[in-house]
A and B are shown apart, each in its own frame.
Chain A
Amino acid sequence: MFKPKNPIKQGLNIIIVGCGKVGITLIEQLCKEGHDITIIDKNPSKIQTLTNLYDVMGIVGNGASYSVQMDAGIESSDLIIAVTDSDELNLLCCTVARRVGNCAAIARVRTPDYSKEVGYLREKLGLAMIINPELEAAKEAARILYLPTALEVNSFAHGQAEMIKFRIPEGNLLDGMAISRLSSSITNKVLICAIERDGEVHIPSGDFIMRSGDIISFVASRKTAKGFLVEIGFKTNQVKNTLIIGGGKAAYYLANQLLHAGISVKIIESDKARCEELSVLLPKAIIINGDGTDEELLKEEGIGYVESFIPLTGIDEENIMLTLYARQVSKAKIITKINRINFKEVISKLDLGSLIYPRYITSEAIIAYVRAKKDSMDSNIETLYHMFDYRAEAIEFRVDKKSDVTGISLADLSLKKNLLISFINRNGSIIVPSGQDCIKVGDTVMIVTTHTGFNDIQDILA
C-alpha cells in the first residue's frame, strides 16, 4: 500500500507580495524552479486567476499586515519579496517580515527619492536586496548606447567583463568563418558563447561556422571587447545625443546616466507638471512638453538626424509603433522598452533591434539570489542572465571552496554538453580560458549553458 512520505521540502518557502507584472514573472520563474510559493495581493480576482494557473497558495489581503503575513506562514518562510506598486508598502512589508519571521527580504523601490539612499535603507532595514527595475533598465539602455553596435550588453564580474550581443551583418569579416579560426586570425581574448540562428540557440563548438544574420553573444573584458568590434569592422563610438519619449522614472534614470557620460539628452513628455519636475531634476537636459507620438513634433525635434532614439512610454504599443516609425525615417540606434511580456514572440519577430524588458532584469536578479540562497555550500551565484528568451543562461559563480572542479585543467573536466566556460575572473583580471587553464578557489567563473537551474559550480560536471 502507498505510504505517504513526509513532505520533504526541496525548494524554499517564498512569499511574494504584490502580483503585478514583476510579481507574475517571479511566480512563473520561481514555480518552475520548484519553490513553495505563497502569494499575497489585495485583489481577490487576481489571486484567483494566479492560483488557477500556477501551483501556489494565494492569500488575499494587505501584505504588510502582521496577521496576513502570519496566514501566509511568515514564520517558516525563507524569503519575502515585496513587489507591490508602492515603494513604501514594499519597505513596510519587509520591515514587518523581518521583525516577525526569520527570513530574508527583498523589496522593490523605484522612486528616485529613495534610490539615492538604497544602500542606507538596505542596511538599516536589514534587507537582502533592493531592486529597482527602472534603474536597471536605464543602466542596460545606457550600456547599449555606449556601444551602439550591440543589441545587448550585460556586465559581469563587477563590470570587468561584458557579454555583448550583436547581429552579423551581410559581408562581415565573420561571415563564413569557423569559430576555431577566430583566435588565430583575429584575437584569442574573445570567446563566442552563444549563437542564435533561425530561432535556435547553439552553444558553439570550434567547428561552428558563423553566417550573416546570426545573433552572436561574446564575452570579453571591457577593453578588448571594443577592440574586437573595431577589428571586425564596426563603429564603436558612443552616441552623442539621444531622444527619449516619455518622462517616467526610467527616463529620468537613463537621462541622468547619459548626461554624466556626456551624451546630450532630449526628453519629450506630454504632462506639463512632470516636465517641470524633470527640468528641475535634470537641468542639463532639454525637456519638451508635447505629445511624443506626434509625427510633426518628432520631425521638428530632429528624429531624422538624432543618433539614438528611445521610446520609454508606459504603453508598449506606442513604444513599438514609435520604433517602427523611427526605423523608417532615421538611422538612429533604437532601444525599445517592453513592459508586458505577452506577445513576446511576435515582438521578437518584428526585428526591432535592442529590446529591454524591465521585468526580466528584475526577476533575473532575484532568481540569481534565490538560487544562491538555496544552495550556498561551495559556491555562490554572483550574477545570472537569461539569454535569448530563457533559452540559455549565463551564470557567474564564485568559487569559495575546494571541490571537484577546482585545480583540474579544464580539458580534463568532463563537462555537460551545451555548456561553455566563458571566462575566469582571477583577482580582477579576465582570463578567457583554454584547455590548460584551471579553476582555483577564489575565482569567479562564468558559464553559458542551455541547461537551466544550476545552483552550484559543480553542476557543470556531467
Chain B
Amino acid sequence: MSAASGNSKRYDVIVVGAGHNGLVAACYMQRSGLNVLVLERNDYIGGAAVSRSLYPEFTYSNCSYVCSLLRPEIMRQLELPKFGLQVIPYEGGCTMMHDGNHFALYDNHDALRREISRHSKRDAEAYDRYARDVMRQCKFIKPLLLREPPDPTSFKIRDIQELLYIGKRFHNMGEKRMYDTIRFWTMSAADFLDEYFESEIVKAHYAGSSIIGTALGPRSPGTAYVLLHHYMGDIDDTVGAWGFARGGMGAVSKALGASFEASGGTIRAGAGVSKFLVRNERAVGVALSDGEELYANTIMSNMDVKRTFLESMDASDLPSEFVEQVRKFKIRGSSGKLNIALDGLPEFPAIPKGAPCIRGDMHVTDTIDMMERAYDDWKAGRWSQAPYIDMLMPSQIDPTMAPNGKHYMSVFTQYCPYELADGPWTPEKKQGFANSVIETIARQSPNFKSLILHAEVRTPFDIEREVGLTEGNIFQGELTMDQLLFNRPVPGYAQYRAPVRGLYMCGSSTHPGGGVMGAPGHNAAQAVLRDLKKVA
C-alpha cells in the first residue's frame, strides 16, 4: 500500500484524510482519469467509519454506527456492493419509560398505530400527518444533496442556473409547503413535534434524532432541521435504505478503499499531514509529520475546516476574514460513545418479550424536559447526569459482530462536553462519564452490568485525538441554518474550493453536512473535475 518515501510517482491529486468523504472523492477523481493519492494519519482507513476489534472475537463500529444516509447513487456508481458493502435493514426502535412502560416503533403500519394509540389515540392518527410532512420536506431537500450549493450573491451562469433549479423545486412544493419549509428550517424540534403530538413519550422518542451529534437541546431553534437530516435515509423508497453495514461501519470504508484501489488509486496509511504547502498563492503539496514532502496540482482536505485552515496552514497564506470566519465556525463536541462487549443479551423488563423493537435503536429518555436537562448539564460543562442514549445491538442482526449468543452494544451518548468546567479530562473523569451511561442503562436492565466483558469509552476529547474531528463533533460542524447550504462551512466558500487555488475541501464541514452520506466527497470531486474540465 505504501510507496517508498521520495517516490518518483507523480500524483494529480492528494487527498488528506481517508474518511469516507475523502475516499468517495478519491474514487470519483481516480475513475475520471486522475492519479490520486490518499494520505491517512491512522494506521487504518475510515476516519469515523471504522470497524475495530478491541476485544477478542468482537467487532465494534467505534464511531458512526448506522448506515442510513450513504447516498445510493454513490454506492451504485462506485460499485460498493461489488467491493463487499452490504447494508442490512434493522427494524424499529423504542424508548423505555420510567414507569416500566415503553414506546416502540414497528415497520408494520398497523402495529405502529396500535402502539402509538396505547399512549394517545389522537397521536396514533396524527402520526401519518407527521410522516407526510417530514417526507414532503425530505423530497425537497434530497436532490440538493448531491449538488454544489449555489452562491446567491454570485452572477455566474452556473450559480444562477442552480438557484433557478432550487427556486423551481421550491415553488413546485406549493404555497403552503413553502411556508412550512421556512418554518421547519428554523424552529425547534420540541415546537415542531408539539404541532403534531400530545403525548410526552411520543414526542420524546421522535425528538431524539434532533439532538444527536448536536450541541443544542430539543428546545433550541434549528433542531427541527437536525431531525429532518436524520430522516434523509428514509426517502429513497428502496428496500434496505436504513440499516447496519454488515461487518460494522468499517465495511463502508473498506469497500470504498477497495473500489479506489481497484481503479488504480493509492492509499498511504500511517502518513499524517502536518502542513499544506502553498507557493505563490497556490497549493502545491503537503508535508508529512516526518518531514517528507509530496507534491500535486490539486490538494483536497477531508479534515474539518478548523484542522485544515487553522492547524495545518500558515495564516499568511490565507485571507484574514476567511480565517476569522473559520475560527467562528461552530464545531462543538457534545457526544460521547461507549462500545460494549456483552456476554449475552441484556434483559429489558419494560419491553414485551419477543418484541422486535430491541433490534433497533433503544432509548431511555421519556420526556423532552429530561432531554433538555441533559443539555443543561452540557452547557454547565459537565456530562449529562441522565444522558440521552442511542443504544443499539447490531450483533442481533449482523452475525459478524460478536460470537453467537454474545452481543456488541453501541451506546451513543448525548451530552458530553469536550472541555469540562472543572478542568481537563482525566482517566477518573472518563470513568465517571462511562459510569453515568452504564447506570442509565442498568436502570432499565437489571442484568446489564453483569454482562459487560469490555467497554471502550470515548469522550469528545478522545474522538478528537483518535479521529481528528475538532472537539469530536461528529458532523464536522453544527447543522444549523447559519452553517448550511451556501453558508457551509463559511459564506462565499460553500463550493468546496478553499481561498487558495488548487486546494479543496471535501469533509462534512461542507454541504450537505455530516452523517456517513458521502455527498460532500462526491460534490467536492465534481468541483475538481469541473475545474480541470473533466466534466461539464
A and B physically associate: no
**Chain B residues close to A by CB (< 8 Å):** none
